[in-house]
């Protein structure tokens, strides 16, 4: 029996999974975030976290590193060849071997689409859009925040939501249902209480819960037809269609229907169909392809074993 390890490293946590040759997940271990871009210690600190997670996974299962036939990692922050090479160097120093590293956006394609070509569009903490085409060529679009015009991720939606309320409360520009929702949920009802809430956004311990309320209120208002929210939905859908359409233009997809795997909380955990449906409409207008949108329900780390055994 052969054994494999998959690693899904993100900005909030890292999943380590042990699989057998029949794709059975034998053990799952969760460790801290491993995106080197968010760490003072950069690649060495991230490599320490990944190595410790692999060793803890092996300890739980009674295996050793020598029992592992292959390892595939999808890591956030691996966007350039130099980042790939630097991480490989650090992990090799720590004794890991027989591993492959890709940006984490690529493993969702194999987790949702199982095999073959496809596009993965992730809107979670950040935004990135990746593809593996019919030739096996790989491309990443986005992932560089404002530099690449990323939209639709959690922080972007939260910022846009706050701006809508600011325009309503402080500028008297346009009344929005989001303001009423935040009054109900957070007691934000005027300029003073809105500006006071900025302190919460800047507090790392309190900001996450506050941002979740902003995002939830945004989608609730959009689904109720709020004009300001729908303008932001249109902007999200247009940019999503730009990214996915970019892969269609730059890459080769032989199939008439292209799988698009949607991952990240904006796509899978929130009532965002109004945005996804609009993005689908735009893509049908712009391209001659048909698209099969797949909301990722499997753990992204399962894409690692699908990819390993497909190869």
Query: Do β-strands 138-141 and 127-132 pair in parallel, antiparallel, or remain unpaired?
Result: antiparallel
pLDDT tens string 274-301? 999 999 999 999 998 999 999 999 999 9
Q: pLDDT (tens digit, 9 = 90+) per residue, 142-184?
A: 988 999 999 999 999 999 999 999 999 999 999 999 999 999 9
Residue 256 corresponds to which tokens in the numbers above?
């008439």
Q: Is the pLDDT of residue 194 over 90?
A: yes
Yes or no: say if 149 and 185 are a contact pair by the CB < 8 Å rule.
no
Distance, in Å, from the CA atom of 272 to the CA atom of 63, rounded to the nearest integer, reads: 42
Buried b (16+ CB within 10 A) or exposed e, 264-286: bbbbeebebebbbebbbebbeee
Burial readout 25-35 (b: 16 or more C-beta within 10 A, e: otherwise) = eebebebebbb
């Amino acid at each position: 029996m052969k054994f494999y390890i998959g690693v899904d490293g993100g900005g909030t946590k890292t999943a380590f999974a042990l699989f057998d040759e029949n794709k059975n997940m034998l053990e799952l271990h969760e460790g801290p975030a491993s995106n080197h871009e968010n760490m003072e210690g950069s690649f060495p600190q991230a490599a320490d976290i990944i190595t410790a997670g692999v060793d803890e996974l092996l300890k739980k299962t009674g295996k050793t590193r020598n029992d592992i036939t292959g390892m595939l990692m999808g890591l956030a922050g691996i966007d350039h060849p130099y980042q790939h090479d630097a991480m490989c160097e650090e992990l090799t120093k720590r004794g890991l071997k027989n591993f492959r590293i890709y940006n984490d956006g690529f493993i969702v394609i194999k987790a949702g689409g199982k095999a073959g070509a496809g596009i993965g569009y992730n809107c979670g903490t950040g935004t990135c859009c990746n593809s593996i085409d019919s030739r096996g060529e790989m491309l990443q679009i986005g992932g560089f925040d404002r530099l690449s015009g990323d939209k639709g991720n959690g922080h972007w939606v939260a910022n846009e939501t706050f701006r809508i309320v600011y325009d309503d409360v402080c500028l008297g520009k346009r009344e929005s249902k989001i303001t009423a929702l935040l009054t109900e949920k957070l007691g934000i009802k005027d300029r003073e209480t809105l500006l006071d809430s900025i302190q919460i956004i800047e507090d790392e311990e309190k900001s996450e819960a506050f941002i979740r309320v902003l995002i939830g209120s945004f989608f609730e208002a959009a689904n109720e037809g709020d004009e300001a929210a729908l303008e932001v939905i249109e902007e999200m859908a247009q940019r999503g269609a730009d990214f996915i359409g970019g892969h269609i233009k730059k890459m080769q997809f032989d199939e008439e229907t292209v799988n698009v795997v949607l991952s990240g909380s904006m796509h899978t955990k929130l009532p965002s169909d109004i945005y996804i449906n609009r993005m689908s409409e735009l893509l049908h207008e712009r391209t001659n392809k048909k698209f099969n949108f797949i909301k990722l329900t499997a753990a992204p780390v399962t894409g690692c074993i699908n990819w390993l055994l497909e190869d």
